[in-house]
């Protein structure tokens, strides 16, 4: 799908349509957390991901562990108000699906019912394939997530790239293949070497969406606020398409000056009695 085609899209994309994009024009994916941003991105993106990264990006948490179901629902609702044609996926937060398939199903149903989103995403740890199968068999589209898994930050001791040893490579490949076999319609591949990302993309028949992986994946996702340059530091794999931190800072500085010297509001910005 070209950018021009994305602009002219009139119907919302579906999970089967996303899956059918395997090996074709790459899928365009960005994170979204608010209605105004979703409205801006919707014409250009195939998928909007309401990522649990919102805990760090919006709420200032040190990682994603503290994100709650209520937070995901709140932001999922906001994104759905702004997205008309993009396929919207909501992350299942840490602790909402690990205890068992019934817990996962109840929380996934809540996410989809309360937000109106089309799918959920889970981090594909060693025990998650059974959860993916349970959800998909009951009508819930699931996106997997392999490689660097942010919800495993406490086990891993930080945000560390994956697949650097042969044992680790084989583990990531198995998690990707298990996710596909369980019924996932796509897989996020995060923080792995380029050759491993390419290998996974060849081995599975569903789209791979890279973040810190390689251009060989079937699509790419970035945290939108990183891509727009809103933070002092961003990972190596982020390309800045704007420098909004500088622009916003300059705008606020100019506003503060105008307020302090009483040049704002001006007469044209003021109401007067008739």
End-to-end CA distance of the chain: 55
- Any known ligand binding at 91? yes
Helix (H/G/I), strand (E/B), else coil: 116: coil
- Is 114 annotated in some ligand binding site? no
CA dist 220 and 87 (Å) reads 14
- CATH says 3-227 is which class? alpha beta
50 and 76 in contact (C-beta within 8 Å)?
yes
Task: Say what the pLDDT of residue 3 is.
Answer: 46
Residue 110 near residue 35 (C-beta atoms within 8 A): no
The pLDDT assigned to 2 comes to: 45
Cα distance between residue 213 and residue 227, in whole Å: 16
pLDDT for the residue numbered 156: 61
H/E stretch holding 71 reads helix 69-82
Domains of the chain, by residue range, sit at 3-227
Residue 52 known to bind ligand: yes
166 is catalytic: no
Q: Is 181 helix (H, G, I), strand (E, B) or coil?
A: helix
Omega of the bond leading into 242 within 30 degrees of 0 (cis): no
pLDDT along the chain (274 residues), means of 10: 58 97 98 98 98 96 95 98 98 95 98 98 90 98 90 57 79 96 97 94 98 96 97 90 97 98 97 94
Residue 162: per-residue pLDDT: 60
Answer whether 0.75 is exceeded by the pTM: yes
Token readout for 249 is 């800072």
* pLDDT for 232: 87
* φ, ψ at 46 (rounded to 5°): -80, -40
Which of 179, 199, 195 lies closest to 187, judged by CA? Answer: 179
Residue 108 CA to residue 165 CA, distance in Å, equals 34
In this predicted model, what pLDDT tens digit does every residue of 15-29 receive, in sequence order?
999 999 999 999 999
Cα–Cα distance, 88 to 42 (Å, whole number): 10
Q: How far apart are CA 94 and CA 91, in angstroms?
A: 9
Beta bridge partners of 29: 47, 221
- Among 190, 247, 268, 269, the active-site one is 190
């Amino acid at each position: 799908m070209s950018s021009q085609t994305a602009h002219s899209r009139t119907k919302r994309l579906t999970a089967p349509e996303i899956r059918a994009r395997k090996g074709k024009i790459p899928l365009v994916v960005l994170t979204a957390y608010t209605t105004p941003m979703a409205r801006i991105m919707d014409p250009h993106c195939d998928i909007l991901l309401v990522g649990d990264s919102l805990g760090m990006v919006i709420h200032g948490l040190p990682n994603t562990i503290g994100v709650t179901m209520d937070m995901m629902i709140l932001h999922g609702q906001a994104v759905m108000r702004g997205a008309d044609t993009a396929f919207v996926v909501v992350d299942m937060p840490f602790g909402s699906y690990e205890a068992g398939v019934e817990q996962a199903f109840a929380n996934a149903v809540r996410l989809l019912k309360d937000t109106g989103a089309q799918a959920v995403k889970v981090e594909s740890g060693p025990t998650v394939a059974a959860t993916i199968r349970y959800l998909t068999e009951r009508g819930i589209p699931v996106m997997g997530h392999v490689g660097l898994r942010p919800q495993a930050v406490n086990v891993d001791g930080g945000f560390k790239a994956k697949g650097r040893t042969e044992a680790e490579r084989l583990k990531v490949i198995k998690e990707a293949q298990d996710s596909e076999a369980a019924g996932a319609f796509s897989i996020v591949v995060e923080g792995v070497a380029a050759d491993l990302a390419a290998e996974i993309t060849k081995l599975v028949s569903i789209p791979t969406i890279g973040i810190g992986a390689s251009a060989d994946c079937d699509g790419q996702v970035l945290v939108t606020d990183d891509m727009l340059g809103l933070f002092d530091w961003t990972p190596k794999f982020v390309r800045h398409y704007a420098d909004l931190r500088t622009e916003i800072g300059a705008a606020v500085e100019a506003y503060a000056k105008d307020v302090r010297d009483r040049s704002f509001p001006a007469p044209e910005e003021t109401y007067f009695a008739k």
